[in-house]
Chain A
Amino acid sequence: MKPLVGLLYNSMVPALLEQAPALVECLEVIPDRLWYDLGPLERGRRFRHVKGAIEQVRRWAEGRIVIGHGIGLSLPSAIPLDREEVDQIGAIAAELEFQWYSEHLSLFQAPHSSLPAGVNGCGLPVVYDEETFGILRRKLATLRAATGCELLMENGAFFAPIPEQPMTEPQFLNRLYAELGCSTLLDLHSLYFAWRNGGMDPAEYLEELNPACVREIHLGGGKTVAGFYTNAHGGVTPHAVWNYASVIAPTLRNLRAITFEFDEACYTKIGVEGILRELERIHVLREAVSAASPFVNVC
Chain B
Amino acid sequence: MLADFQQAMADMVASPQLCNTVRRTPDTLWRRYTLSTLEYRRLVEIAGNHGMNGHCALYRVDRFAPLALHLPELCRGLREVLPTLVEEYWTEHPRTDVNAVLECDRFCRFLLAKEAKGWAMPAEVRTAFEHEQGEVQMKLALNCIL
* Cα separation A4 to B144 with both chains bound (whole Å): 37
Of all chain B residues, the one with the shortest Cβ separation from A107 is B6
CA distance A278 to B53 in the complex (A): 31
Interface residues of A in 61-100 (CB under 8 A from B): 71-72, 77-79
Are B145's CB and A112's CB within 8 A? no
* Nearest B residue to A116, CB-CB: B62
Flag if B49 contacts A160 (CB, 8 Å).
yes
Is the CB of B140 closer than 8 A to any CB of chain A?
A: yes
Residue pair A228, B94 in contact (C-beta under 8 Å)? no
Dominant SS at the A interface?
A: loop
The 0/1 profile, CB within 8 Å of A marked 1, for residues 17-40 of chain B is: 000000000000000000000100
Does B7 sit at the interface, judged by CB under 8 A? yes
Interchain nearest-CB distance for B135 vs A (Å): 16
User: Within A219-274, which residues are at the interface with B (CB < 8 Å)?
Assistant: 225-230
* B98 interface contact, C-beta 8 A: yes
A295 beta carbon closer than 8 Å to chain B = no
* Contact assessment for B51 and A160 in the assembled complex, using a CB-CB cutoff below 8 Å: yes
Q: A37-B99, A117-B98 are in contact. Are A110 and B51 (CB under 8 A)?
A: no
Please tell me if the beta carbons of A113 and B7 are within 8 angstroms of each other in the complex.
yes
From known contacts A50-B143, A107-B10, infer whether A226 and B58 are also in contact, taking CB-CB under 8 Å: yes
Please count the residue pairs between chain A and chain B whose beta carbons lie under 8 angstroms apart in the complex: 131
Q: Chain A nearest CB: distance from B5 CB in Å?
A: 7
- Size band of the B side of the interface? 35 or more
Which chain B residue shows the least CB distance to A226? B57
Taking the nearest CB of chain B, how far is it from the CB of A106, in angstroms? Answer: 11
Any A CB within 8 A of the CB of B70: no
For chain A, which range describes its interface: under 10, 10 to 19, 20 to 34, or 35 or more residues?
A: 35 or more
CB distance from A128 to the nearest CB of B (A): 12
Cβ–Cβ contact B58 & A124, under 8 A: no
Contacts of A48 in B (CB 8 A): 143-145
Contacts of A163 in B (CB 8 A): 41-42, 45-46
Distance A37 CA – B95 CA, assembled complex (angstroms): 13
Residues of B within 8 A of A290 (CB): none
Partner among A71, A127, A131, A198 whose Cβ is within 8 Å of the Cβ of B51: A198
Chain B min CB distance to A163 (Å): 5
Pairwise interchain contact A164-B38, C-beta atoms closer than 8 A: yes
A237 to B3, CA, bound (A): 35
Query: Is A78 within 8 A of B59, CB to CB?
Result: no
B52 within 8 A of A: yes
Q: Mark A29-60, 1 if CB is under 8 A from B, else 0.
A: 00011001110000000001111000000000
B102 at the interface (CB under 8 A from A): yes
**Chain A residue at smallest Cβ distance from B38:** A164
With A116-B63, A158-B51, A163-B42 in contact, do A79 and B3 touch (Cβ < 8 Å)? yes
A226 to B65, CA, bound (A): 13
Across the two chains, which residue of chain A brings its CB closest to B63?
A: A116
Alpha-carbon distance A31/B143, docked complex (angstroms): 16
A111-B6, A225-B57, A225-B58 provided; 11 other pairs, C-beta below 8 A? A36-B99, A72-B98, A110-B7, A110-B9, A113-B11, A113-B94, A114-B96, A115-B59, A160-B52, A163-B42, A228-B53
Instruction: Name 5 A/B residue pairs within 8 A (Cβ), A-sorted.
Output: A110-B3, A114-B96, A197-B51, A226-B60, A230-B54
Binding site for A on B (CB under 8 A): 1-3, 5-7, 9-11, 13-14, 38, 41-42, 45-46, 49, 51-55, 57-63, 65, 94-99, 101-102, 140, 142-145
Task: List the 9 closest pairs (A to B, CB-CB), nearest first.
Answer: A228-B54, A113-B94, A159-B51, A116-B62, A110-B10, A160-B49, A159-B55, A160-B51, A78-B3
- Could you list which residues of chain A lie within 8 angstroms of chain B, going by C-beta atoms? 32-33, 36-38, 48-51, 71-72, 77-79, 107, 109-118, 120-122, 124-125, 127, 131-132, 158-164, 197-198, 225-230
